[in-house]
Structure 1
């Protein structure tokens, strides 16, 4: 039986920890620069989820996975949360390859538009709740295909 890590709206959320994720230590320098940049959308989202404020779920900020730095990572779920700003407009192919790689590791990616974080945070948080319930709210054996 899988471990329940929290409940969202009365629905149990099950642990989906992905082990042995690749890690490129050469990205540590870039990671520090990214954290210092303090991108507004990321700061706003971080204030909502840090210190287990969002349904007692532990989020990591700026996590290295393989050759990528993801915006937010939930270890217990194997969930990546990406906040896409205007810099992503010209990088659709790169983003698709990146997402395909991350998903090949058994991770799920939830993307949010930076505009929505800044202007519709309540809706963004509700969509994140719904995504977590949909993907982690039932044990794998009870999912209906």
Structure 2
């Protein structure tokens, strides 16, 4: 399937304009620094762009700011998660605040989730 060029261009712009939390998380995940897993950032899974994606274990990581706490944000996130899970992806969400102020807690949770997925992936 050919990916929408506008979606790919938008993903590229999003990589350039990363939030502080996304930037920090990318520094922790990039170049197989975390559990020797390859992560991509602002990865297109049409019609969405996910914050981080690991193909090897089918994991999507979403970092959420305050807009995700609104009713509309929660509804959108639930639809998006349902769509991604229907494609057999595991979706994990972390608040930007937690990534920035409690990165060790986020990474510990992520380590457990990745370990579980590594055991169940082919």
SS for the counterpart of 1:111 is strand
Matches within 5 A, 1:94-113: 94-113=76-95
Matches within 5 A, 1:1-145: 23-90=3-70, 91-138=73-120
SS for the counterpart of 1:109 is strand
Partner of 1:9: none
Q: How many residues align?
A: 120
Q: Does structure 1 retain, via aligned residues, the 8 Å contact 2:94–2:106?
A: yes
Q: Does structure 2 retain, via aligned residues, the 8 Å contact 1:24–1:65?
A: no
- Give me the CA root mean square deviation: 1.8
Tell me, in whole angstroms, the C-alpha distance in 1 between the residues paired with 2:78 and 2:61.
15
| Deviations 1:29-88, CA, capped at 9 Å, x for gaps | 211221121210000011011100111110001100011000000011111011111121
Gaps of 5+ in 2: none
SS for the counterpart of 1:137 is helix
Tell me, in whole angstroms, the C-alpha distance in 1 between the residues paired with 2:4 and 2:58.
18
> Higher relative contact order by CA 8 Å / sep ≥ 6: 1 or 2?
1
TM-score normalised by length of structure 1: 0.76
Gaps of 5+ in 1: 1-19, 141-145
> Between Structure 1 and Structure 2, whose CA radius of gyration is higher?
1
